[in-house]
C-alpha cells in the first residue's frame, strides 16, 4: 500500500490487513478477494474488498478480554473515517475510507 500510494499509510495498511484476514478466516484460503483502492473527492483513500458470500456479514461486537479473535471490525471502526457493507449481486463488499 505504501509503495502504491507513495506515502506512509499505516491506517490504510491496517484496514487492508483486517479486511483480507476477515474473509480468509471466515471463508477460507483460496477465496477470490478482489481489492479496489481509489481516492475519494475529498482526497481520502477508499478500500473495498468483495467476497462471494452474501451471508457472512460483518458485525461490530466487543469480544471478552480473553478472546484471541474478534477485534478486526473494532480496529476497522477505530481507524477508518467510515466503513460499511454493500450487497452487490455476486456476494458482499466491505469498504472503508481512510485519511492519508
Per residue in 8-28, pLDDT (tens digit) is 889 999 999 999 988 888 888
Comparing 88 with 66, which gets the higher pLDDT?
Answer: 88
Q: State the DSSP string of 39-87.
A: E-TTS-EEEEEEES-SSS--------TT-SS--HHHHHHHHSSEEEEE-
Mean of pLDDT over the chain = 85
CA distances from 60 to 1, 12, 36, 68 (A): 25, 19, 22, 16
What CATH code would you report for 2-98? 3.30.565.10
Checking if the pLDDT of 95 tops 90, the result is yes
Q: Which cell goes with 77?
A: 471502526
User: What confidence score (pLDDT) does residue 66 get?
Assistant: 67
Averaged pLDDT for residues 76-83: 93
DSSP code at position 97: E
Question: CB-side exposure of 18: number of CA atoms within 13 Å?
Answer: 24
Domain locations along the chain? 2-98
Amino acid at each position: 500500500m505504501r509503495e502504491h500510494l507513495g506515502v506512509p499509510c499505516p491506517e490504510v495498511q491496517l484496514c487492508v490487513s483486517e479486511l483480507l484476514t476477515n474473509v480468509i478466516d471466515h471463508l477460507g484460503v483460496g477465496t477470490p478477494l478482489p481489492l479496489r483502492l481509489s481516492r475519494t473527492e475529498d482526497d481520502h483513500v477508499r478500500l473495498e474488498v468483495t467476497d462471494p458470500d452474501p451471508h457472512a456479514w460483518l458485525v461490530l461486537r466487543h469480544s471478552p478480554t480473553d478472546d484471541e479473535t474478534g477485534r478486526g471490525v473494532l480496529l476497522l471502526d477505530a481507524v477508518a473515517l467510515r466503513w460499511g457493507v454493500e450487497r452487490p449481486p455476486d456476494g458482499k463488499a466491505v469498504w472503508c475510507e481512510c485519511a492519508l
